[in-house]
Amino acid sequence: CGYVAVLGRPNVGKSTLMNHILGQKVSITSRKPQTTRHRILGIYTDDDAQILFVDTPGIHKKEARSINRYMNRAASSSMVDVDVIIFVVDGTQWTEDDELVLEKLQQTNCKTILFVNKVDKIQDKEQLLPHLAKITERFEFDAVFPGSALRGDNLEPLINQIKEWLPKGDLFFP
């Protein structure tokens, strides 16, 4: 089955991304279904794939003493039992909390995707390149997608890439 964890500091656009992929009807509410380790964000289904998107359980932003600590724990717990990690960053803003996740990602052996969000806000797309280079020289992602969760730009290639990596014919709901 396909478990995909969505990771990233607050405000980078994780919920927007999920809402776009899973359809606008999916709302992320306070009572969340959980697997043993993960909070389920939703299940993407099409003719030939089912992808279970998960968040990190037991971590509440407000409870964490610092954002730094939150990101650290979120990154560690996403690494358990998932096939793919999508690390969402804000293309207009790279912070130390993002850096922290890069270090954590060194420990994972699942597939990793860098989704560089909010590129609709960037007038000169060339500006993205040094930004991206800085990230990818520290950690080699299996795939990188610049896009816009808000406008839905470049989300189809993202889904197709995930589908390619997931084991075939192993569905949650036959």
Q: Is 116 in the site for ligand GDP (CB under 6 A)?
A: no
Query: By CB under 6 A, which span of 11-19, 35-43, 93-101, 107-115 interacts with ligand GDP?
Result: 11-19
How many residues would you count in the chain? 174
3-state secondary structure of 22: helix
Q: Is 90 left (phi over 0), alpha (psi -120 to 50) or beta?
A: beta
How far apart CA 105 and CA 100 sit, in angstroms, is: 9
Least separation in angstroms between residue 118's CB and ligand GDP is 4
* Beta-strand pair 84-90/49-55: unpaired
Residue 8 binds ligand GDP, judged by CB under 6 A = yes
CB of 135 or CB of 166, closer to ligand GDP: 135
The answer to whether the CB of 155 falls within 8 A of the CB of 147 is yes
Q: Residues 4, 5, 7, 13: which binds ligand GDP (CB under 6 A)?
A: 13
In this chain, which of 11, 27, 35, 136 binds ligand GDP, going by CB under 6 A? Answer: 11
27 makes contact with ligand GDP (CB under 6 A): no
- 112 near ligand GDP, judged by CB under 6 A: no
Q: What is the DSSP letter of 45?
A: E
Chain residues in the site for ligand GDP (CB under 6 A) = 8, 10-16, 117-118, 120-121, 148-150
